[in-house]
Structure 1
Amino acid sequence: MRVLGAFGLLVTWVTLGEAWWIFTSNDRAVYPHAEVTDSCLQMARNGSCGFYSCLESRFPCSPHSFALEHGQRYCHRFEQHLADFTPNGREWVIAAKKCQTRFLLERYQHDVANCHTLNRVGWDRMSDCYLWEGFCRISWENKDALWQVFQARDLLHTTRIWRELLQLTRSCSGYNIHRFLEWVMNKINYLRG
């Protein structure tokens, strides 16, 4: 029952956080500050974390940049904890990273960008890539590794991560995703005391 109460609180928190993000988002056109380079194109095709710096250099969207605050951060964390994943989990990490950077490659090559759109597309493609590459299949057996990547302070600080986790949960019915979400909620309740 405690998990269900925490889940209801989580849904409310995510909804309010999303409303805040929408009204404070950076909805402005940004023109390129850097040229498209072959090395950045290759990083995107390979799923390299360095591509996110290329995207931010070309279209600076800080301080609320998906590229640096989320894309690059989680990309590096996945690399840092790659050995903690099962063999199937490692294949998933590599495929999901490539999927994300390849989707953002098109945006990188545009002549103008909108920071709000870059953020939205970045988050949307993150979820899509996780699903398409098999998150539902690998999440339970890799829950400890995923916990290391999506650290507790992120889960308590960034409501967008919760929105994506809830979306993944809805999309993964029939898998161990409900056990995974309950496990995450129990970990957070434990941390909260």
Structure 2
Amino acid sequence: MKSFTMKVFAILFLLAVVALPCSAWWFGNDPRVEPHEDVSDECLRLAAWGRCEFYECLERRFPCGHRGFAIHVGLHFCRKIINMMDDFTPDGQRWMNRTSICLTNSLLPVYQSYVSRCDDINDVGADGIIACNSRTDQDGQDFCSFVHDNSEEYLDIFGMEEIRRMLRLRKPGLLGRMLVDGANCGAYSLRDRFLSVTGVVNDMIGTMQEHWEDLTDRWTNFWN
């Protein structure tokens, strides 16, 4: 397990070094996003119930586009989990329902704020995922007990598409935490899946190289 964990953090360190400075150069500073609609009682109720529609409320109030946390991660994962709910054990369903409520409530302060930034929403969303997975409920149920009885289902939640979405958030620590914690709690197949992330990393580096070459060509043409 130690060697697996070291591989996780070695690759994530590469992501942090390569992706983050590139994002600062390519995208510039993250501007403030003013609220585009008022806080609504209906959206507050949706958050209290852990409903997927709350992420659409958050996106309407602070639009960050299809690459922002609300749509790119929150809504995507929520809908996928709803579609898979019958596959979980009864205890697993209870854990996922509580997790959904925990996640939407963790985003309520952002939803109710007067101004935000898309990177701030990404940060709050990532912190919420870690905190909600780290909790222990009053009946003693925790993340490991969920994964122990639902390891294959957890693996299905965390497919390659979801790994790619996490990578695009530029939050490598969140990705590493979910993969390592899942493997530590019994989802051993995540070890093999994580190694396939190296292929995704290579794709990302190749894409960034293409952007850089295109930018260099444009810059050269501008001065010639």
The bucket for the TM-score relative to the shorter chain is 0.7 to 0.9
Change beyond 3 A, Cα 1:44–1:34: same
Quick one: distance in 1 between partners of 2:89 and 2:154? 11
Shift of 1:38: 1.4
Listed as ranges, the matches of 1:110-149 within 5 Å are 110-133=113-136, 134-149=142-157
* Residues paired across the two proteins, number: 186
Deviation string 1:55-77 (CA, Å, 9 cap, x unpaired) is 01100112530010001100111
Query: In structure 1, what is the equivalent of residue 186 of structure 2?
Result: 180
Point out the more displaced range, 153-162 or 22-31: 153-162
Contact 1:28/1:116 (<8 A) preserved: no
Quick one: distance in 2 between partners of 1:13 and 1:128? 23
Quick one: distance in 2 between partners of 1:157 and 1:75? 14
Query: In structure 2, what is the equivalent of residue 164 of structure 1?
Result: 174
Shift of 1:180: 2.8
Query: In structure 2, what is the equivalent of residue 53 of structure 1?
Result: 56
Deviation string 1:53-112 (CA, Å, 9 cap, x unpaired) is 110110011253001000110011111111111111111100010011011111101110
| More relative contact order, 1 or 2 (CA 8 Å, 6+ apart) | 1
Shift of 1:140: 2.2
The alignment partner of 2:148 has SS state of: coil
Change beyond 3 A, Cα 1:153–1:87: same
Aligned: 1:150 with 2:158 = yes
Aligned: 1:88 with 2:87 = no
Counterpart code for 1:183: S
Deviation string 1:88-145 (CA, Å, 9 cap, x unpaired) is 1111100010011011111101110111111011011011111215212211221111
Contact 2:52/2:79 (<8 A) preserved: yes
Deviation string 1:33-59 (CA, Å, 9 cap, x unpaired) is 111111111101100000001101100
Quick one: distance in 1 between partners of 2:54 and 2:79? 11
Quick one: distance in 1 between partners of 2:41 and 2:113? 15
Counterpart code for 1:46: W
Q: Please, what TM-score do these two structures have when normalized by structure 2? A: 0.71
The answer for unaligned runs of 5 or more in structure 2 is 137-141, 200-224
Counterpart code for 1:163: G
The alignment partner of 1:139 has SS state of: helix
Shift of 1:183: 2.4
Aligned: 1:12 with 2:13 = no
Q: Paired residue for 1:40, among 17, 38, 43?
A: 43
The answer for unaligned runs of 5 or more in structure 1 is none
Root-mean-square deviation (Å): 3.0
Contact 1:84/1:145 (<8 A) preserved: yes
Contact 1:44/1:98 (<8 A) preserved: yes
Deviation string 1:137-172 (CA, Å, 9 cap, x unpaired) is 2112211111121113333563368633543577x6
The alignment partner of 2:76 has SS state of: helix
Q: Please, what TM-score do these two structures have when normalized by structure 1? A: 0.81
